Copies of this chain bind each other. A is one copy, B any other.
Amino acid sequence: MDTLPYDPSRLAARAAEIVATTRELSALGWTPATSSNFSMRLDDTHAAITVSGRDKGRLTEADIMVVDFAGKPVATSHRPSAETLLHTQLYARYPQVGCVLHTHSRNQTVASRLFARQGHVRLEGYELLKAFAGNQTHETAVDVKVFPNTQDMPSLAADVEKLLDAGPCWGYLIDGHGLYAWGKDMAEARRHLEAFDFLLACELDLRRLTP
């Protein structure tokens, strides 16, 4: 039996974390119609990620596969999601990133459509801005970038690199699609994801209420 190029016990631990979180996010309705994907760093060259096309509310550890940071499958016949590269580019660029979460909630999708032309959503005046790692005050503004949607992942990944070059960032939207958020570990990535979703929901409500 060949030696695996990653630590299988670490994979088991990360897979368990991904499955638990994925089922909780699915129960919120954030992964409709088998959409969304979730990953965690294994080591300096590998990540664990959900297999494409599985029902996220029924995910098991058998639905988690290993990829390298070019997004290629490692020691598996599973097919990774087309969007795997959007996960691995973050692990490759930032040694401190340990988890990437991509969801399709209704608030995320609607906000992405509504603000696509403007190119970003400005979040300002909310206490919950303090949920983003490094922010100490609500007296700030966060602009969430909205990228045009495309099936050309290398092109989208190149656009994301430019966004990351521009300064600190905890996530972004893709038009008609959903949200990417990340953090040093599952807890931080999820805190960022929840903060983005909540604040986008508030922005949508305020637009409905202040014509």
What is A's interface to B at a CB cutoff of 8 Å? Answer: 28-29, 32-35, 55, 104, 106, 109-110, 113-114, 125-128, 131, 136-139, 149, 151, 174-178, 187, 190-192, 194-195, 197-198, 201-202, 204-211
Q: Report B-chain residues with C-beta under 8 Å of the C-beta of A176.
A: 125-127, 138
Closest chain-B Cβ to A178's Cβ sits at a distance in Å of 7
In this complex, which of A104, A136, A194, A211 has the most chain B Cβ atoms within 10 angstroms of its Cβ? A194
Q: Is A127's CB under 8 angstroms from B178's CB?
A: yes
Could you say which residues of chain B place their CB within 8 Å of the CB of A139?
Answer: 151
Which residue on chain B has the smallest CB distance to residue A109? B202
Question: When A177-B138, A202-B106, A204-B205 are in contact, do A128 and B210 touch as well, CB less than 8 Å?
Answer: no
Question: Are A33 and B191 touching (Cβ within 8 A)?
Answer: yes
Could you say which residues of chain B place their CB within 8 Å of the CB of A33?
128, 131, 191-192, 194-195, 198
Say how far A26's CB is from chain B's closest CB, in angstroms.
11
Is A35's CB under 8 angstroms from B128's CB? yes
Residue on B with the closest CB to A151? B137
**Chain B's nearest CB lies how many Å from the CB of A197?**
8
A211 CA / B175 CA spacing, docked (Å):
20
A35 touches B127 (CB 8 A): yes
**Residue pair B202, A110 in contact (C-beta under 8 Å):** yes
Residue of B nearest to A193 (CB): B33
Question: Which residues from B are CB-within-8-Å of A204?
Answer: 205, 209
Q: How far is the CA of A115 from the CA of B147 in the complex (A)?
A: 30
Would you give the shortest CB distance from A148 to chain B, in whole angstroms?
10
Chain B residues near A113: list those with CB within 8 A.
125, 202, 206
Q: Are B210 and A114 in contact (CB under 8 A)?
A: yes
